[in-house]
Chain A
Amino acid sequence: MQTETAPPPAASTQWIGDKKAQRSKVFDAFFSWATFAASWGTVALLVWIALQVGYAALPAVKQYGLGFIVGREWDTNNDVYGALPLIYGTLVSSALALLIATPLGVAIAIFLTEDYLPLKVRSVFKFLVELLAAIPSVIYGLWGIYIVIPITTPMGNWLNAHFGWFPLFSTPSNGPGFLPAAFVLAIMILPTIAALSGSALKTTPQALKEGAAALGATRWDVILQISLPIAASGIFGAAVLGLGRAMGETMALAMLVGNNNQISASLFAPANTIASLLANHFGEATGLEVAALMYLSFILMALTLGINAVAELILERTGATTRHL
């Protein structure tokens, strides 16, 4: 499946003039060099960012070492910094958001790529979904405060009153917390997941669909057995981009997550995330706290790396990489 296509023989001279061929050869070399440079430029950029962040983090790394990762306090006054509640909050909020957004996003994508609606209506929907990615996160934050929290708070309190024994509902809701944060986060990444999953689903060759239909397959036989498997890697890619956005989201989360450095299993408890703490503290931070914040950023980058590595492994195991036909 992944065999390299051998470079074509130098036969091109046969159908274009010699001079032209020479020029196109030079251009070919230049172009492949440009793609090479761009790719490694991307790698260099990441390394540069990592070095810059790592260098700024150095004082905190020296001071706290690996204990930083399991520390539970973030106390600017006494220069005591620990990342555990933040790591926990980041992972849980992004996982929840992805859990909500992926099925919804794929459902939207299926609905908008299969011929449920007239083409005109579909493209209107498609544009609407894409442009939701343009709403500034501050606005999502305000939407969360004024629309989502008034809904989740009574819901949380009711669940807590009746099912308080269940760890997920073990605290009452004071407004901000995991649930509203993850919900708003899910809505924020929904456009990315829906738009890119839609693109992936659209590439199913019409001939395959028609062929299946001719065999008597229903619409959902086609979707489940042909379209989705073909689009699996694309959907996965969309989810990865969504996850990236979710883990790195700052402003909206800073407004909704409650900003409390605690580890609680409850969905309604206020929590905190790495990016949110970064946004809240960076402007006023001085001295060792700046280094600690950079250390935290470094951990976030490592987390993204780790999650992607795991995801890639899973994808390989399950053989979902049906990339080409």
Chain B
Amino acid sequence: MDLSRKPRVRLIFSRAMDIAVGFVTLAALVPLASVLYMVVRKGAGNLRWSMLWELPPAAGMDGGGFGNALVGTLLMVAIGAAVSVPTGILTAIFLTEYSLGSKSARLIRFCAKILSGLPSILAGVFVFGVLVINRDLHLWGWNFGGFSAIAGGGALGILMLPIVILSAEEALLRVPRFLREASLALGANRTQTVLHITLPAAISTIITGVMLAVARAAGETAPILFTALFTSYWISSLHEPTASMAVLIYNFSSVPYDNMVNMAWSASFVLIFIVLVTNIVSHLVANRSK
């Protein structure tokens, strides 16, 4: 550590940087606050409780809500998470615990990074071409073809996967090496070490990554538009067109009908509120389980 300059100089420098970083943070918080304020002001003001369980209105109609879109988004994000979170964390474990520094680890990390830059619409196009277009694609007794919540969730899973992998990998790498070595020295095998030592130590950061993935998936329109389509009714199965908050917001924000435009804002507000709650709850659960 280089402490060669005079303490006084370093102290002044440190204070100056304190002020600078505080200022920059404030400056950055202004636009963030502005987005949030816009959503809250336009969204919360028009929010009626009944919006949470009513069906979407059509053009020129009053009232209505986004109950089915809420269910659809929760469902499809859950499907996406069910696919991508285990896969992503297992991949991260492979990268950090089983093949650290190897060529294959580099290749896999590379693939994850490229996936992270995949335009969201391409995830939709891919799932459309692989699942949706094959109308009667029966696998393991399930129909994967046609517009469905499964297809929508799958497309979201593709988007979430690289975020989970890359953030979980960072999290695992930051677990001090000596913890693993201590565990191994005590005779635990690798799996035991990973499950009981490494993963719990990294879980809080992993959750941050998973939440970023969930947040992104919940707000994505393009991958769902071509895979889950939309419906104005309640869904009755996983194999039919499914409504989602993001598509509803996309549809309603561009029309000239006040009721629908207001509802798009309210839906955005509810969407970020749900992400906030999920975020807090998952951190609480993780901290308790530690």
Complex A–B touching at CB under 8 A: yes
Binding site for B on A (CB under 8 A): 2, 4-5, 7-8, 11-12, 14-15, 24-25, 27-28, 31-32, 34-43, 45-46, 48-49, 52-53, 56, 103-105, 107-108, 110-112, 116, 127-140, 142-143, 146-147, 183, 187, 190-192, 195-196, 199-200, 202-203, 205, 212, 215-221, 223, 225-226, 233-234, 237, 240-241, 243-245, 247-251, 274-275, 278-279, 282, 294, 297, 300-301, 303-305, 308-309, 312, 323-325
In the complex formed, the residue of B with least CB distance to A311 is B113
How far is the CB of A256 from the nearest CB of chain B, in Å? 14
CA of A107 to CA of B22 in the docked complex: distance in angstroms? 8
B189 pairs with A24, CB closer than 8 A: yes
How far is the CB of B264 from the nearest CB of chain A, in Å? 8
CA of A139 to CA of B7 in the docked complex: distance in angstroms? 49
CA of A195 to CA of B212 in the docked complex: distance in angstroms? 9
CA of A200 to CA of B166 in the docked complex: distance in angstroms? 13
With contacts A2-B100, A133-B216, A135-B272 taken as known, whether A324 is within 8 angstroms of B208 at the C-beta atoms is: no
In the complex formed, the residue of A with least CB distance to B107 is A43
B28 pairs with A247, CB closer than 8 A: no
| Cβ–Cβ < 8 Å partners of B158 in chain A | 45, 49
Chain B's interface size range is 35 or more
B249 pairs with A241, CB closer than 8 A: no
A127 pairs with B276, CB closer than 8 A: yes
Interface of A is mostly: helix
Contact partner, A32, options B3, B130, B191, B253, Cβ 8 Å? B191
With contacts A104-B24, A195-B208, A212-B1 taken as known, whether A46 is within 8 angstroms of B111 at the C-beta atoms is: yes
Q: Contact string, B195-219, partner A, CB cutoff 8 A, digits 1/0?
A: 1000000001100110110111011
A216 pairs with B117, CB closer than 8 A: no
Contact partner, A107, options B24, B181, B265, Cβ 8 Å? B24
Contact partner, B194, options A31, A42, A147, A202, Cβ 8 Å? A31
CA of A183 to CA of B215 in the docked complex: distance in angstroms? 21
| Cβ–Cβ < 8 Å partners of B126 in chain A | 48-49, 52-53
A39 pairs with B162, CB closer than 8 A: no
